[in-house]
A and B are shown apart, each in its own frame.
Chain A
């Protein structure tokens, strides 16, 4: 009798195990410090454009998703070490990154600009309010960059390390500015307010959000909005061997762009449409 019930219990457990395994769990890492793309809300839960988008994508992929926060520094090595299955953290597609991981079809475009104290010498750099693509308007963009480089001579500019923003600064302003690398955009913003750096360069959507905070009242965006080139497009980072998962993400993203969900979420979080064009 007793043996029978144990066997029965074991059988029930075993079958429960198989049904759980059927429902695939995809763990997605985000940074959690890159508002409004992804950030920790007032009650500690993750919020933002990418959190909402991830939920939409998982629903369309018919998988159960777990979203976790991970330091930006180790976000790619931890993916290849299988700590999670995907990255949605405002990550631009770059050739260097593509050597190590695979990317889904893009779900957003990267747009970056400078920010500086409104009462300082860098408040109105050439091209403020204009937009330049480093691909299709390479010459015009280069002209603006040279003008800005002259202004940044000897000035300290903060960027988040391991980002397209730092790649952009290293590529175009290496000889002009003193480039300081920070662990997060929040940290370089603190140093911009305290006057340790004269300007910062970061994603325009992230800066726009940061500038709404009371501490950042004296700061404004300056210089043109740069896109394309090193900034590229933003996509889900995946392991190269997970081709099936990539196909699922690609399909879900395409459908979310096609029916306007990405645009809707983008307007909700950024007030501008960052959904990839073309």
Chain B
């Protein structure tokens, strides 16, 4: 198949129009999902059965069912109840935009909660004990010791989750939203050239996720001051090797 560059260019520029919506969906659902995840993670590590159990159940349900099914249940399922259509929630749930954000947020909350819990549990007991010995209050200890260490630990897993979320926004196209994949589907229906259009759509997601990955790599370096001396120490080692 010969490459049709004018068509590829036209496709790519049309797809760029879908980036703002894709980013909005990803960003808003990430923010809402992370708040929810933080609450869930605290419930999980609370040690209180009445808090831990509901959080566990939530995570079990949202991790165990496909995101597409969740999107459909929230968009097509909820609208089947007349009582909901007459409730104050309907102006929100009427819009595919909010349904997509709700579904994505609820889904990412389940995954992120476990990432945050893992981060919290990874904080060495010795550090907590030392802080306690210094007389820190529970809140101060959490803010100064536990949270910074946990954040650093969970960052790689969390950047994974964000990249997954950016890709998951593609499912919003199934409920009429014209984000990158929605526009791609429309272009295919007009041109019947799925290969070129999907390659362009894939390249667009790749570009977005390249920046997401770079951003998190940057944050990781920022949060690990001890590692910033790494190049110097490796060069020292190299010198040693030369000797």
- Which of chain B's residues have a CB closer than 8 A to the CB of A99? 192
Q: Which of B76, B85, B189, B192 contacts A161 (CB 8 A)?
A: B189
> Interface on chain B toward A: helix, strand, loop, or mixed SS?
helix
B176 in the interface, Cβ–Cβ < 8 Å?
yes
Cα(A215)–Cα(B76), bound, Å: 14
Which residues in B have their C-beta under 8 angstroms from that of A76? 192
A161 touches B79 (CB 8 A): no
Question: Does A153 sit at the interface, judged by CB under 8 A?
Answer: no
Chain A residues contacting B194 (CB-CB under 8 Å) are 74, 77
Rounded to whole angstroms, the CA-CA distance of A77 and B176 in the bound complex is: 22
Contact B79 A191 (CB under 8 A): yes
With a cutoff of 8 Å between Cβ atoms, the chain A residues found around residue B80 in the complex are 190, 194
- Bound complex: CA A180 to CA B75 (Å): 15
**A175 at interface by CB-CB < 8 Å:** no
**Within the complex, what minimum Cβ distance (angstroms) separates B50 from chain A?**
37
With both chains docked as a complex, state the minimum distance between the C-beta of B11 and any C-beta of chain A, in angstroms.
15
A196 touching B94, Cβ below 8 Å: yes
**CB pair B176 A181 closer than 8 Å:** yes
Interchain CB contact under 8 A, B79 and A100: no
Closest to B192 in A: A100
B79 near A194 with CB under 8 A, answer: yes
Q: Quick one: which of B150-181 are within 8 Å of A by CB?
A: 174, 176, 178
Determine the distance from Cα of A195 to Cα of B190 in the docked complex, in whole angstroms.
28
Nearest CB of chain A from residue B180's CB, rounded to whole Å: 15
Asked whether B188 is an interface residue with its Cβ less than 8 Å from the other chain, the reply is yes
Interface size on B, residues (CB 8 A): 18
Q: Would you call A269 an interface residue if the criterion is a C-beta within 8 Å of the partner chain's C-beta atoms?
A: no
**Known contacts A73-B185, A161-B186: A195-B94 contact under CB 8 Å:** yes
Known: A187-B76, A194-B79. A181 touches B192 (CB 8 A): no
Chain B: minimal CB distance from A252 (Å): 26
Give chain B residues whose Cβ lies under 8 Å from the Cβ of A194: 79-80, 85, 94
Residues of A contacting B190 in the complex (Cβ-Cβ under 8 angstroms): 96
Which single residue of chain B is at the shortest CB-CB distance from A160?
B189
Interface residues of B in 91-144 (CB under 8 A from A): 94, 96
A105 in contact (CB, < 8 A): no
Q: Which residues from 73 to 102 on chain A have a C-beta closer than 8 Å to any C-beta of chain B?
A: 73-74, 76-77, 96-97, 99-100
Contact residues in A for B191 (Cβ distance below 8 Å)? 96
Bitwise, B78-89 to A at CB < 8 A (1) or not (0) is 011000010000
> Which residue of B185, B189, B191, B194 has the most chain A CB atoms within 10 A of its CB atom?
B189
For residue A268, CB closer than 8 A to chain B, the reply is no
Contact A161-B185, Cβ < 8 Å, known A190-B76, A191-B79: yes
Task: Report Cα–Cα, A96/B190, bound state, in Å.
Answer: 7
Contact partners of B178 in chain A: CB under 8 A: 181
B interface residues, Cβ below 8 angstroms from A: 76, 79-80, 85, 94, 96, 174, 176, 178, 182, 185-186, 188-192, 194
Residue numbers of A with Cβ under 8 A of B are 73-74, 76-77, 96-97, 99-100, 158, 161-162, 166, 180-183, 187, 190-191, 194-196
